[in-house]
Amino acid sequence: MAEDIEKQYDKIYRYCYFKVKNASVAEDLTQETFLKFLQQNSYRECGKKMEYLYTIARNLCIDSLRTRKELPLEEEVAGKSPMENVELNLSVRQALSMLKEEEQELLLFRYVNDMPVGKIAEFTNQSRFAVYRKTKEALGKLKKQ
Amino acid sequence: MKRKLRNGIREAFEPPKSPGKEAFLRNIWQPTLDYRGFLLSQLHYIRKRVWILSFLFVMYSLLFLLKQTEGSCSYESVWIIGAMLPFLALTAVSETIKSGWWGMQELELSCRYSLNQVIFARLLFIGSGNLITLTVILVLTEKTLSAGFFRTGLYLLTPYLLTCALCLILSGRVRGREGRYGYAVTAAGVSAANSLLRYLEHSVYQPDYLIFWLFSVGISAGIIVYRLHCMKKEMEARSWNLYLAE
């Protein structure tokens, strides 16, 4: 259970950070997401806990972006990677920044947070085919750059 | 997708370390019951009589078949054991839907793990138990016949699945404890029909009638799947109604 919640925390934190681009705000929002989830009693266990958490996190991120527009963007450097990967990481980062936010979000869900296509489709309110096509397109763009 | 690119994407999305994570996770209240714990907890709610009855069925079949010498019993063992199986199905169905009998449906529907999951958890355990029982009985019965596993399996599965199917249909029509009598009559009826069939038509266990057995098993299995699907949908709708009424 502890391990599960740790993984969930990391995924939500990564998502919040992607949305608000600020580590301390992302951390606050992540913790608020979990507190909100545990306080409410409307969730019925049906295997969709992560989608529920993502929905709370997304709404909190939107609220936060609306009220705190003046937050500075944090530019972090890939310091932890081995030297041979730094170049690749920087180029991937650069290429990712050229993609639309929706495409970035799809790549985050699919390849970083390991969310199945069906669940991404449900969460983003699109068809599975659309998610699959858009993810493929985003990857294609990434490879070109 | 190349591993290098995937790792690159992962690295690119990696946020800085969250300093408050450890402290937050240490202090946060978490529900203590996870899904595995929930499943195991349901095992305790299945009454011992279900397991005892399964064990008795196996023992009875074993003793009955040990008394038969090969070839002497022909298809007698199939219909006698087959006539017992509706009662095994009766225990399975009645144990699964007992919440309704005791007026606990609303309460269980409003819990974190709702009645839907409780029923399917119990079905998992009781179904597995019955599957083991049926397999043992099948192996034992098959030894006295020359019909092969497939045919013997069909002869034994038919009364079992038919009882399950009829009881599940009945559960949708008759609510509450009155249903119990209906299930008991159904099981007894299927058992009696199984015995009668043998006397009315002596060649019913011959290969010519295989299509009849296949058809019965197929129809019964179809009804069971359909009824379980309906029950799931019905309970989902009811739990949403309860949620809206909170």
For chain A, which residues make up each domain, given as ranges?
Answer: 1-71, 85-145
Distance from CA of A136 to the nearest CA of B (A): 10
CA separation for the pair B102, B120 (Å, rounded)? 18
The pLDDT assigned to A78 comes to: 46
Contacts of A108 in chain B (CB under 8 A): 13
Asked if A13 and B21 come within 8 Å (Cβ–Cβ), the reply is yes
CA separation for the pair B193, B183 (Å, rounded)? 15
Question: Could you write out the DSSP letters of every residue in B70-92?
Answer: TTTSTTHHHHHHHHHHHHHHHHH
Q: How many CB atoms lie within 10 A of CB B50?
A: 20
Asked if A96 and B24 come within 8 Å (Cβ–Cβ), the reply is no
User: In a structure prediction context, what are the per-residue pLDDT tens digits for chain B, which is 246 residues long?
Assistant: 677 778 888 888 888 888 888 888 888 776 666 777 777 888 888 888 888 888 888 888 888 777 765 555 566 777 778 888 888 888 888 887 777 667 776 666 666 677 777 888 888 888 888 888 888 888 888 777 777 788 888 888 888 899 889 988 888 787 777 777 888 888 899 888 888 887 776 677 777 888 888 999 999 999 999 988 888 887 777 666 665 555
The pLDDT assigned to B51 comes to: 87
Task: Estimate to the nearest angstrom the gap between the alpha carbon of B144 and the chain centroid.
Answer: 27
Residues 6+ apart with CB under 8 A from A95: A141, A142, A145
Asked if B11 and A92 come within 8 Å (Cβ–Cβ), the reply is yes
pLDDT tens per residue, range A76-123: 544 444 455 566 667 777 777 788 888 888 888 888 888 888 888 888
Q: Does B8 touch chain A (CB under 8 A)?
A: yes
The pLDDT assigned to B223 comes to: 93
Type and span of the H or E element at B63: helix B48-67
Residue pair A40/A13 in contact (Cβ under 8 Å)? The answer is no
CA separation for the pair B25, B34 (Å, rounded)? 16
Q: Which amino acid is at B108?
A: E
Hey, what CATH class is A85-145 in?
mainly alpha
Residue pair B144/B73 in contact (Cβ under 8 Å)? The answer is yes
Residues 6+ apart with CB under 8 A from B244: none
Mean pLDDT rounded to a whole number for chain A: 79
Nearest CB to A31; choose among B4, B15, B24: B24
Secondary structure (3-state) at B69: coil
If phi > 0 it is left, if psi is from -120 to 50 it is alpha, else beta; for residue B206 that is beta
Q: Is A69 exposed, middle or buried (0-12, 13-18, 19+ CB in 10 A)?
A: exposed
H helices within B76-176, ranges in order? 76-96, 98-101, 105-109, 115-142, 148-173
Contacts of B35 in chain A (CB under 8 A): 45
Asked if A1 and B34 come within 8 Å (Cβ–Cβ), the reply is yes
Q: Does B70 touch chain A (CB under 8 A)?
A: no
Q: Does A30 touch chain B (CB under 8 A)?
A: yes
Residue pair B163/B190 in contact (Cβ under 8 Å)? The answer is yes
Closest residue in B to A14 (Cα–Cα): B15
- The CA angle B173-B185-B195, to the nearest 5 degrees, is 130
The pLDDT assigned to B58 comes to: 84
Nearest CB to B12; choose among A35, A93, A143: A93
CA separation for the pair A86, A92 (Å, rounded)? 10
User: Between residues A32 and A75, which one has the greater pLDDT?
Assistant: A32
Q: Which fold has domain A1-71?
A: Rna Polymerase Sigma Factor; Chain: A (1.10.1740)
